[in-house]
């Protein structure tokens, strides 16, 4: 990894993979040395929902959805060709590519396969801005695409879950013995809780704080104070999840590799295909980079929340979604370096 790229990342973002890995180890250690922790967490239930986990997952989504510049969505309409390409890559090609990779590489592991598909359906609304900025991409276009994806996610994620998982997997006979019957209503309820609540909270917070204190105070004071909530909530979720499956995970380290393979292929294929397509449409380097990172990144926070809500925190589906950010960070840093090398040729 380039030292220049790493230096542009914040301390937390720079070592995100390490924090996730440490959280995994902590969860496994708890499973072995302090089993009462999981029993204590299990006490706080509302039906099948773990209240601490639900709160954590909502808090995890709140900062990135507050940070989205919804007011700049109009910028994406300035170049209709690039907007059309982005929508095609994010909401048709991307989900289909991840679906194909999951089916091809994980069909014998249906739980992992479904988890990877869930990640493919969740389009990135947070870290893509970081990668785009470091690679000197078009910031206004990148922010506009993120805002666009956030709105589309609220509207269509539940429907996509039903189409890709309930309809397609069953139609292709790829359920692997699992009872895959997720209704649109069930998906919509989950999405509205774990995406709708933080989306509305973020939207209201953004415009209320900017209206009261101004954009500069919002960007330099407010967001830095609430942004750590995402990492804290994510790490809490990972610790709890791995504490429930710690002993099992130690026995299957190669499963992490199996889950990682489709992610790595997906990131590289989507980024290069989108970059090439952008250039064919006449986009400059900055615009091509913005569209490429938007297409190649995924919203792991949402996928984790939905997988836990629908399948349970100790499910293989949830486990597969957690591996995502562990792989995404080093791959995206690699892609940023490649982008900067390509910039020298423009």
Q: What percent of the chain has pLDDT over 90?
A: 35
CA dist., res. 179 & res. 10, Å (int) = 43
Q: How would residue 100 be classed by pLDDT, with cut points 50, 70 and 90?
A: very high
Q: Which of 68, 314, 57 is nearest to 194 (CA)?
A: 57
CA dist., res. 234 & res. 237, Å (int) = 5
pLDDT of residue 226: 92
Is the pLDDT confidence value at 175 over 70? no
Q: What is the mean pLDDT of residues 255-274?
A: 95
User: Among all chains, which residue has been given the structure tokens 């309820």?
Assistant: 189
pLDDT of residue 5: 61
When mean pLDDT is compared across 87-96, 114-123, 309-318, the lowest value belongs to 309-318
CATH 1.20.1530.20 fits 50-345, yes or no: yes
Kindly list the distances between the CA atom of residue 246 and the CA atoms of 24, 26, 30, 100, 320, in Å, as whole numbers in the listed order: 8, 9, 8, 30, 14
CA dist., res. 173 & res. 161, Å (int) = 17
Q: How would residue 117 be classed by pLDDT, with cut points 50, 70 and 90?
A: very high
The token pair at 127 is 């870290």
pLDDT of residue 261: 97
Is the pLDDT confidence value at 190 over 70? yes
The token pair at 148 is 């666009």
Is the pLDDT confidence value at 7 over 90? no
Query: In the chain, helix, strand, coil percent, each to 5?
Result: 85, 0, 15
- Residues 274-323 have pLDDT tens digits of 999 999 999 999 999 999 999 998 988 889 888 888 888 778 898 899 88
Q: Which of 318, 310, 277, 323 is nearest to 296 (CA)?
A: 277
Domain boundaries, the chain: 50-345
Is the pLDDT confidence value at 2 over 60? no
């Amino acid at each position: 990894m380039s030292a220049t790229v790493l230096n542009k990342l914040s301390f937390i973002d720079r070592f995100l993979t390490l924090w996730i890995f440490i959280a995994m180890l902590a969860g496994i250690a708890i499973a072995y040395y302090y089993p009462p922790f999981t029993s204590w967490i299990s006490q706080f239930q509302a039906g099948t929902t773990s209240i601490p986990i639900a709160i954590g997952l909502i808090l995890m989504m709140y900062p990135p959805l507050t940070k989205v510049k919804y007011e700049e969505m109009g910028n994406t309409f300035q170049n209709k060709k690039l907007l059309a390409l982005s929508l095609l890559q994010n909401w048709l090609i991307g989900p289909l590519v991840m679906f194909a990779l999951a089916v091809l590489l994980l069909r014998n592991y249906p739980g992992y396969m479904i988890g990877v598909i869930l990640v493919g359906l969740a389009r990135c609304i947070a870290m893509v801005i970081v990668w785009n900025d470091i690679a000197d991409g078009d910031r206004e276009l990148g922010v506009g695409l993120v805002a666009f994806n956030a709105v589309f996610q609220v509207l269509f994620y539940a429907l996509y879950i039903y189409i890709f998982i309930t309809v397609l997997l069953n139609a292709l006979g790829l359920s692997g013995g699992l009872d895959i019957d997720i209704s649109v209503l069930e998906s919509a309820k989950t999405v509205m809780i774990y995406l709708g609540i933080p989306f509305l909270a973020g939207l209201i917070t953004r415009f209320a704080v900017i209206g009261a204190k101004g954009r500069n105070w919002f960007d330099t004071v407010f967001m830095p104070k609430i942004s750590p909530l995402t990492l804290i909530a994510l790490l809490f979720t990972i610790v709890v999840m791995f504490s429930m499956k710690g002993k099992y995970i130690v026995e299957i380290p190669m499963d992490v590799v199996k889950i990682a393979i489709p992610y790595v292929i997906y990131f590289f294929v989507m980024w290069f295909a989108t970059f090439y397509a952008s250039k064919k449409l006449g986009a400059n380097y900055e615009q091509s980079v913005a569209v490429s990172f938007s297409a190649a990144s995924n919203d792991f926070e949402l996928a984790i929340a939905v997988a836990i809500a629908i399948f349970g925190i100790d499910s293989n589906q949830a486990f597969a979604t957690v591996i995502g950010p562990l792989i995404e960070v080093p791959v995206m840093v690699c892609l940023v370096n490649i982008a900067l090398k390509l910039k020298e040729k423009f």
